[in-house]
């Protein structure tokens, strides 16, 4: 059984306790985000700020200027939305060494419904200067992205899903901020995907192969900075791109890919993502169907060329 | 430092402030003038700093949460030697190290970028928590405007400072009673400030914010208070030191005309 990505987040935090600069901040959601696991092993560097995300981000900013590495955690909708001004004006403008982690995002939040399902967080964070945006695709990449974020000096937004997805990466996987990764090589089309959708992109590619369609699958965890070189390379090779994300198609991965290719190597692009609407309540699998975020929908996009 | 000496410095800072604003042709005189004595006492008497080493790890920190008041702040930093006085005439201009609101990455001595109101106290809490975690002695000062207290984030931060027993954190309210749209009480109503802070379990001191002895004593009391943070509510006069600007909210963000500036400089230079 693959691990839920939020569980990996909690476990990785515990591992990081050996670094005396790490401080974990929670806004009364630590049981859901798994940040509370850090409290168990390192209570002296765990701060429960209460239901006050703006204050939490401000406190994190202050800590960072005194040589600590604060990790501010809550649901994506709150850390990127409720505290947007604090993130923009204090953390990003100051280029502060603050890590912002949202563990609940996209429609896979599920039963909590639209108010808790960030579908625009990547767009918000990507639009802010200095901000690095990382969206891991499985358990191993979650662990590596967290470690890379800590090693990097500057503001980072980490979008970590609450759910489990099939494991894509082996134990020897190395992640590097700014680098994308080719998971499958094909010349008919390239599926460029991020987060939990990458395992669905692989599933789609496998089904397409049976129909004689050879699809590349490119996983982009580092949405900002993005691997421009790799994206241009695959566009040149495949001449058709499908982008896939559990996020609004406005301003996310699809937009990032389009911004590059429209200038450097224009090719037709199809976008699999949430089509400018809010989420709703339901089981994650039901919602992924409703919002057309399944392998079937990726295949349909590929066949629309 | 001798009070007479502090007063002389304050006069120079007021003059520099108005010279900067005249040159810039844009900026906020009222709130810059109301906090001059507070800044002068902190930087010339109280704070443990090394202007030649602005990022010295063990320095006391100051966050000017009411970032728009920065002309007098810049004048004080320059007077302390953080940067050359010639830079003051570049305030708000393209390429200047003196941005329209404080920028920690361009101005030596600025400990935190501010401008979006209501954020300074949270940041100050973070710095003060870091000092406790590191068992360091440095202190953190946050200056907020009174109008800025309309922002809810302040009240979140007030609670966290008490929770974490931040006796190394001092909040100073520049209580000049005015904001852009008029009096604090007409705009939203922040009174009674002392009772509100006391209800949040802060150590509350109320002073005349233009009286150096008052400021000095309050800062001393803040230092000797353990286990909880101190707020100094400093009653001040917006536009202090310039007769026609005092207590008039129109001077929050307005620049005088040429004739008014002549009067201003006659008043301020006559003082010196």
Provide the shortest C-alpha distance from residue A203 to chain B (in Å): 45
CA gyration radius, chain B: 17
Q: Which residues pair with A28 in a beta bridge?
A: none
Listed in sequence order, the DSSP H helices in A53-171 are: 53-64, 76-77, 84-85, 121-126, 139-151
Decide if B119 and A86 are in contact by the 8 Å CB cutoff: yes
Domain of residue B78: give its range.
3-271
Overall average pLDDT of the B103-117 stretch: 97
pLDDT value of residue A88: 98
A196: Cβ contacts below 8 Å, ≥ 6 apart? A5, A106, A108, A137, A161, A163, A165, A246
Cis peptide before B192 (omega within 30 of 0): yes
Q: What is the mean pLDDT of residues A80-93?
A: 98
pLDDT digits (tens, 9 = 90+) for B128-169: 999 999 999 999 999 999 999 999 999 999 999 999 999 999
Q: Answer whether B130 sits within 8 Å of A68, measured CB to CB.
A: yes
Q: Evaluate if residue A187 carries a pLDDT over 70.
A: yes
SS3 B142: strand
| Beta carbons of A65 and B111 less than 8 Å apart | yes
pLDDT in tens, A7-55: 999 999 999 999 999 999 999 999 999 999 999 999 999 999 999 999 9
- Residues ≥6 apart with Cβ < 8 Å to A171: A140
Residue B206 DSSP symbol: E
Contact B129 A47 (CB under 8 A): yes
B5-23 confidence digits (pLDDT tens): 999 999 999 999 999 999 9
How many CB pairs (< 8 A) connect A and B?
Answer: 104
Q: Quick check: A65 contacting B, CB < 8 Å? A: yes
Q: Say if residue B265 is preceded by a cis peptide, omega within 30 of 0.
A: no
Residue A246 host element (H or E): strand A241-248
- Over residues A197-207, the mean pLDDT reads 98
CATH at residue B88: 3.40.50.970
Using alpha carbons only, how large is chain A's radius of gyration in Å? 18
For range A194-205, the mean pLDDT = 98
The reported pLDDT for the residue numbered A1 is 83
Backbone angles phi, psi at A166, to 5 degrees: -55, 145
User: What is the DSSP annotation of A224-235?
Assistant: ES--HHHHHHHH
B159 contact A CB<8A: yes
Domains along the sequence of chain A with CATH:
5-159 (3.40.50.970), 181-303 (3.40.50.920)
Tally of structural domains, chain B? 1
Chain A CB contacts of B116 below 8 Å: 85-86, 89-90
Q: How confident is the model at residue A294 (pLDDT cuts 50, 70, 90)?
A: very high
Helices (H), ranges, chain A:
5-15, 30-33, 36-41, 53-64, 76-77, 84-85, 121-126, 139-151, 197-210, 228-238, 253-264, 284-290, 295-303
pLDDT at B270: 76
Residue corresponding to tokens 């691997």: A227
Q: B262 in helix, strand or coil?
A: helix
Q: Among candidates A159, A85, A72, A73, which has minimal Cα distance to A117?
A: A159
Residues of B in contact with A59 (CB under 8 A): 122-123, 125-126, 129, 157, 160
pLDDT bracket for residue A172 (50, 70, 90) = very high
B103 contact residues in A (CB cutoff 8 A): 93
Specify the pairing of strand B182-183 against strand B178-179. Answer: antiparallel
Q: With an 8 Å Cβ cutoff, is A66 touching chain B?
A: yes
DSSP H helix total and E strand total for chain B: 10, 7
Residues A245 and A235: their CA atoms lie apart, in Å, by 18
B112 pLDDT more than 70: yes
Residue B57: its chain A contacts at CB < 8 A?
A: 67
Q: What is the pLDDT of residue B1?
A: 87
For residue A219, list its beta bridge partners: A181, A193
Taking CB atoms and an 8 Å cutoff, what residues of chain B touch A94?
Answer: 104-105, 112-113
State the nearest Cα–Cα gap between B3 and chain A, in angstroms: 33
pLDDT reported for residue A126: 98
Average per-residue pLDDT for chain A: 97
- Per the CB < 8 A criterion, the answer to whether B208 and B235 are in contact is yes
Please, which pLDDT band fits residue B272 given cuts at 50, 70 and 90? low
**What does the pLDDT look like over A243-284, one tens digit per residue?**
999 999 999 999 999 999 999 999 999 999 999 999 999 999
| Interface contact A71, partner B, CB < 8 A | no
Residue B133 touches chain A, beta carbons under 8 Å: yes
Q: Which pLDDT band, with edges at 50, 70 and 90, does B29 fall under?
A: very high
**b/e per residue, B203-223, with b = 16+ CB within 10 A?**
bbbbbebbbbebbbebbeebe
Label the pairing between strands A46-48 and A99-102.
Answer: unpaired
Query: Rounded mean pLDDT of A125-148?
Result: 98
Instruction: Go through B231-240 and write b for each residue having 16 or more CB atoms within 10 A of its CB, e for each that does not.
Output: bbbbbbbbbb
| Backbone angles phi and psi of B140, in degrees to 5 | -125, 130
A59–B129 C-beta distance less than 8 A: yes
pLDDT value, residue A179: 98
3-class state of residue B231 by DSSP: strand
Cβ distance of B112 and A61 shorter than 8 Å? yes
The 10s digit of each residue's pLDDT in B240-269 is 999 999 999 999 999 999 999 999 999 998
* Cβ atoms of residues B229 and B170 within 8 Å: yes
What ipTM does this complex have? 0.97
3-state secondary structure of A298: helix
Rounded to the nearest 10 degrees, what angle do helices A53-64 and B153-163 cross at?
A: 60
């Amino acid at each position: 059984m693959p691990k839920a990505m939020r569980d990996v987040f909690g476990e990785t935090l515990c591992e990081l306790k050996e670094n005396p600069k790490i401080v974990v901040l929670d806004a009364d959601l630590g049981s859901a985000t798994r940040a509370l696991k850090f409290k168990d092993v390192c209570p002296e560097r765990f701060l429960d700020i209460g239901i006050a995300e703006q204050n939490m981000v401000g406190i994190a900013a202050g800590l960072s200027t005194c040589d600590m590495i604060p990790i501010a955690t809550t649901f994506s909708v709150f850390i990127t939305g409720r505290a947007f001004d604090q993130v923009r004006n204090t953390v990003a403008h100051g280029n502060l060494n603050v890590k912002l982690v949202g563990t609940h995002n996209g429609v896979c939040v599920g039963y909590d419904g639209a108010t808790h399902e960030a579908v625009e967080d990547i767009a918000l964070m990507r639009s802010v200067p200095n901000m690095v945006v990382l969206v891991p695709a499985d358990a191993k990449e979650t662990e590596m992205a967290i470690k890379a974020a800590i090693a990097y000096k500057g503001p980072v937004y980490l979008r970590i899903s609450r759910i489990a997805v099939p494991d894509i990466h082996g134990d020897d996987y190395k992640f590097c901020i700014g680098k994308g990764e080719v998971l499958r090589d094909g010349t008919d089309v390239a599926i460029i995907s991020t987060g939990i959708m990458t395992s669905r992109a692989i599933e789609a590619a496998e089904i397409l192969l049976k129909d004689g369609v050879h699809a590349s699958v490119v996983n982009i965890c580092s949405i900002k900075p993005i691997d421009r070189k790799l994206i241009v390379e695959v566009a040149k090779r495949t001449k058709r791109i499908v982008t896939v994300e559990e996020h609004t198609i406005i301003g996310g991965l699809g937009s990032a890919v389009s911004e590059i290719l429209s200038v450097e190597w224009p090719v037709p692009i199809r976008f699999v993502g949430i089509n400018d609407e809010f989420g709703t309540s339901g089981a994650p699998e039901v919602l992924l169907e409703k919002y057309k975020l399944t392998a079937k929908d990726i295949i349909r996009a590929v066949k629309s060329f | 430092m001798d009070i007479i000496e502090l007063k002389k410095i304050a006069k120079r800072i007021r003059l520099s402030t108005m010279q900067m604003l005249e040159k810039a042709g844009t900026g906020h005189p009222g709130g810059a003038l109301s906090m001059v004595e507070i800044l002068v006492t902190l930087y010339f008497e109280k704070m443990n700093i090394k202007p030649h080493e602005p990022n010295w790890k063990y320095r006391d920190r100051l966050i000017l949460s009411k970032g728009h008041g920065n002309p007098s702040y810049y004048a004080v930093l320059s007077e302390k030697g953080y940067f050359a006085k010639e830079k003051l005439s570049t305030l708000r201009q393209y390429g200047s190290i003196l941005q329209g609101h404080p920028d920690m990455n361009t101005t030596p001595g600025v400990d935190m970028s501010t401008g979006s109101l209501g954020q300074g106290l949270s940041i100050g809490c973070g710095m003060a928590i870091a000092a406790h975690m590191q068992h360091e002695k440095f202190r953190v000062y946050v200056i907020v405007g009174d109008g800025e207290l309309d922002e809810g984030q302040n009240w979140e931060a007030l609670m966290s400072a008490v929770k974490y027993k931040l006796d190394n954190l001092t909040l100073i309210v520049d209580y000049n009673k005015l904001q852009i749209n008029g009096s604090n009480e007409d705009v939203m109503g922040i009174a009674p400030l002392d009772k509100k802070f006391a209800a949040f379990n802060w150590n509350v001191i109320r002073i005349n914010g233009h009286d150096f002895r008052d400021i000095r004593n309050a800062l001393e009391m803040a230092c000797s208070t353990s286990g909880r943070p101190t707020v100094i509510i400093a009653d001040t006069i917006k536009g202090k030191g310039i007769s026609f600007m005092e207590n008039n909210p129109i001077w929050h963000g307005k620049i005088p005309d040429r004739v008014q500036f002549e009067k201003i400089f006659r008043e301020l230079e006559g003082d010196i």
